[in-house]
Structure 1
Amino acid sequence: MTTIQTPVSLKQSMGERQFHMLATVLQSIEPDFDGRTFLATALDGLDSLTLMERIRRASTAIDAGARVLSGGYDAVLMLLKEAAPRTGRGFVSLVAPDYVGQYGRHAFDRSMEALKYFTPFGTSEFAVREFLRDDVQRALSIMHAWSQDADDAVRRLASEGSRPRLPWSFRLKEIEADPSLAARILDNLCTDPSLYVRRSVANHLNDVTKVHPAWVLDRAARWGTGHPHAQWIIRHALRTLVKQGDARALAALGAESNPDIDVGAFTVTPAKIRLGETITLACELNSVADKVQHLVIDYRIAYVKQRGTTAWKVFKLKSLMLEPGQQVVLTLDQVIRDFTTRTHYAGRHAVELIVNGSVVAQADFDLVC
């Protein structure tokens, strides 16, 4: 008999156990810290809170437990700095930065320095946005220095924290309206040796393409493709534009909008599946050109929604160089299962093959739930 394990929701990674651990650590450092008040505040109605609400609740609880301490905000900051190496690198590591973002904005410079200290233990990317929202120029000036730091976690914070559309956070409207505000940070990081940093820069630029695609394409042209790290960032930063078939983005990657190819069979098998089963995509592409062609091959699935409508989701399949007269056969397996961000519903799901931004073939499968 097969045992099916129910996945633990993400918010449980910041549950009662983590709050008790925090109370123990804080009291071990500062015996006068009111752990009883901390836990009473933290655990009240905890089950109904989302992950990010739980992190915010922890900040509120720290404030409540620290009211008996002399020294105010600076005393709590010292306590949290000493606690940071002892609390682990999970979501609990977001608590100290969040506290700074909520209770330390009156002490701008000291708090920004604290966020720099905390970020290697987890990340301060969410908390630093409070300071960017309060005074974008002052915060970016400090973050520009961070972009030249020896620690890749600090360099990444400069880029990730200033992303216009960071997931799980509010938008930075001033940077969204004028991406050049963060340009010096991005320029400093365009050839960064750390993949951790380069991913952040690419994601920052991909955010910008949603509103200012020409600005990103101009930046990519300015950086050039001579350095492999800059080339990697540009390729990943332009992913949304490439999926949209943007001719200039494709050209920046050396891919033509209308490649000379014949499309053979494109299949999705089996034709009918149940949730949790796997579909296999297979396609055949043939070159009819007399030169090498760069192909960016994606596919998209029209997921059936609860009310019977559909919503497209684009996936990467392959990027390759197709020689004159060459034939390639590509296959890919994808499990169709629920995620915290996607619930599947029964019905016919269209699947389209996209080459250099253009739909070149279509198939479908039926999902039975």
Structure 2
Amino acid sequence: MQRPLKDQLFNLDKVTMIATRLRQAKASFRPEDFIDEVMDRLGDLELKQRITWISEVLERHLPDDYRPAVGALLRSLPAPCDPALSDGDFGDFIYAPYSEFVARRGCTDTDLAYSLDALKQITTRFSAEDAIRTFINAYPDHTMNTLIEWTRDKHYHVRRLCSEGTRPRLPWSRRLSVPASAAIPILDNLFDDRTRFVTRSVANHLNDIAKSDPDLVVETLHRWRTTGRQEPREMNYIIRHATRTLVKTGHRDTLGLLGIDPDRRVTVTDLTIPPTVHLGAALDISITVHAAETSEAIIDYAVHFAGPPGRPGGRKVYKLRRLTVPAGHSVTLAKTHPLRAGMSTRTIHAGEHAIEVLVNGTPRAKRSFQVIQP
């Protein structure tokens, strides 16, 4: 049985590794005492709590003076992630407490520039995307101007931090006090990046903005595409990935951006699912669409989930396919959707569920089915 993610990322071996490196960087550091204190509580904590806990223990085992303490952390770091890679080498989660330490202790007038430089170094070993948000909220102008400068850094982890750290809805992270539009100058410098690790973050960032300001997202993507600065294939990837939420809602200007006429009528002539499926099995879905005239269409489907007893369930939209439906023809699509018990992202409950077909974000057909215990 696979260990929980929190135990894979934060465990005795990892804690011993950083303790050993810190002892090499700071002669007065006592690795055994540090390891004992960290491990005394680590097993009782969830993932993010472990990051905070290790940073708190670091405070008690490093010098009281902030800069000497951070100096020891920086000297203990391994070599940066390979800057020549074209996609994500995420680094090692065990260094997340280092950036948390900087955010806890160094977000002050006196240490602002020193702390930001420390985060720049740490982020090339593991992303400081959460910690940088403390500085954005406390010193928005200085920090955002610094991130604009970093968008041209030679290391792709630094460039990605500029986008990822300023996302309005970054998962598991503190909220930002600056408006979503404040990061557009940063994204303007990053959308033409040649590293997918960076452009994926840019697209995710725009998808965050789309939930509060769809028009800004569409306008920005139109503007970027007309510059010709990004390769067409990668520009198309950014547009598709950045507009995935807007497509699911049938946003008309977004459909136009994607080359789809929202007024073309594509109908669902058949939606076939079994009436029952066992929990832990998979649901076979068959969808047939028809068009009177040749039409481009994005076909998605939503699952309406049963909730636990006495509570409502949820709804989640899943991507299926973009296709061309020839005039007067029908196209049938098939999909197998897993309903595994104990999924990490959602608990599947027995009871009435439903499948809903979306054509260009508009609901077109819906069928119910029962999930039953095997």
User: 1:326: Cα distance to partner?
Assistant: 4.2
1:114 pairs with 2:124: no
1:90 pairs with 2:92: yes
User: 1:36: Cα distance to partner?
Assistant: 3.8
Match of 2:333 in 1: 330
Match of 1:154 in 2: 158
User: 1:79: Cα distance to partner?
Assistant: 2.1
User: 1:87: Cα distance to partner?
Assistant: 11
Q: Secondary structure of 2:124's match?
A: helix
- Contact 1:34/1:66 (CA < 8 Å) preserved in 2? no
- Contact 2:24/2:76 (CA < 8 Å) preserved in 1? no
Match of 1:201 in 2: 202
Letter in 1 for 2:219: D
Match of 2:63 in 1: 67
Match of 1:266 in 2: 271
1:242 pairs with 2:247: yes
User: 1:323: Cα distance to partner?
Assistant: 3.4
Match of 2:356 in 1: 352
- Contact 2:63/2:69 (CA < 8 Å) preserved in 1? no
Match of 1:27 in 2: 23
Query: 1:185 and 1:86 mapped to 2: Cα distance?
Result: 27
- Contact 1:287/1:324 (CA < 8 Å) preserved in 2? yes
Match of 1:104 in 2: 106
Match of 2:84 in 1: none
Query: 2:327 and 2:272 mapped to 1: Cα distance?
Result: 24
Cα deviations by residue, 1:216-253 (Å, 9 ceiling, x for unpaired): 22212222365523332122111111111111221121
1:48 pairs with 2:44: yes
Query: 1:85 and 1:332 mapped to 2: Cα distance?
Result: 45
Structure 1 stretch 21-30 or stretch 298-307: which is displaced more?
21-30
Q: Secondary structure of 1:120's match?
A: coil
Query: TM-score with structure 2 length normalisation?
Result: 0.88
Letter in 1 for 2:323: L
Q: How does 1:136-151 map to 2 (within 5 A)?
A: 136-151=140-155
Query: 1:193 and 1:86 mapped to 2: Cα distance?
Result: 23
Match of 1:232 in 2: 237
- Contact 1:190/1:201 (CA < 8 Å) preserved in 2? yes
Match of 1:78 in 2: 71
Q: Secondary structure of 1:52's match?
A: helix
User: 1:40: Cα distance to partner?
Assistant: 4.1
Q: Secondary structure of 1:125's match?
A: coil
Match of 1:285 in 2: 289
Query: 2:21 and 2:362 mapped to 1: Cα distance?
Result: 56
Query: 2:80 and 2:161 mapped to 1: Cα distance?
Result: 20
Residues 201 and 8 from structure 1, CA distance in 2 versus in 1: closer, same or farther, beyond 3 angstroms?
same
Residues 262 and 211 from structure 1, CA distance in 2 versus in 1: closer, same or farther, beyond 3 angstroms?
closer
Cα deviations by residue, 1:69-90 (Å, 9 ceiling, x for unpaired): xxx3222223222322179933
Residues 26 and 86 from structure 1, CA distance in 2 versus in 1: closer, same or farther, beyond 3 angstroms?
farther
User: 1:59: Cα distance to partner?
Assistant: 0.9
Query: 1:220 and 1:190 mapped to 2: Cα distance?
Result: 9
User: 1:276: Cα distance to partner?
Assistant: 2.2
Match of 1:310 in 2: 313
Cα deviations by residue, 1:39-71 (Å, 9 ceiling, x for unpaired): 343234323322111011111111111137xxx
Query: 1:129 and 1:38 mapped to 2: Cα distance?
Result: 28
User: 1:16: Cα distance to partner?
Assistant: 3.4
Cα deviations by residue, 1:83-119 (Å, 9 ceiling, x for unpaired): 2217993321312222211122231111111211121
Query: 1:316 and 1:345 mapped to 2: Cα distance?
Result: 22
Query: 1:193 and 1:102 mapped to 2: Cα distance?
Result: 34
Out of 234, 249, 253, the position equivalent to 2:258 is: 253
Match of 2:85 in 1: none
- Contact 1:268/1:365 (CA < 8 Å) preserved in 2? yes
User: 1:314: Cα distance to partner?
Assistant: 0.7
Query: 2:21 and 2:280 mapped to 1: Cα distance?
Result: 42
Letter in 1 for 2:195: S
Structure 1 stretch 85-94 or stretch 272-281: which is displaced more?
85-94
Query: 1:16 and 1:133 mapped to 2: Cα distance?
Result: 34
Letter in 2 for 1:180: S
- Contact 1:256/1:356 (CA < 8 Å) preserved in 2? no
Paired-residue identity, %? 33
Q: How does 1:176-191 map to 2 (within 5 A)?
A: 179-191=180-192
Give ranges in structure 2 of 5+ residues lacking alignment.
82-90
- Contact 1:20/1:39 (CA < 8 Å) preserved in 2? yes
Query: 1:326 and 1:224 mapped to 2: Cα distance?
Result: 33
Query: 1:56 and 1:244 mapped to 2: Cα distance?
Result: 38
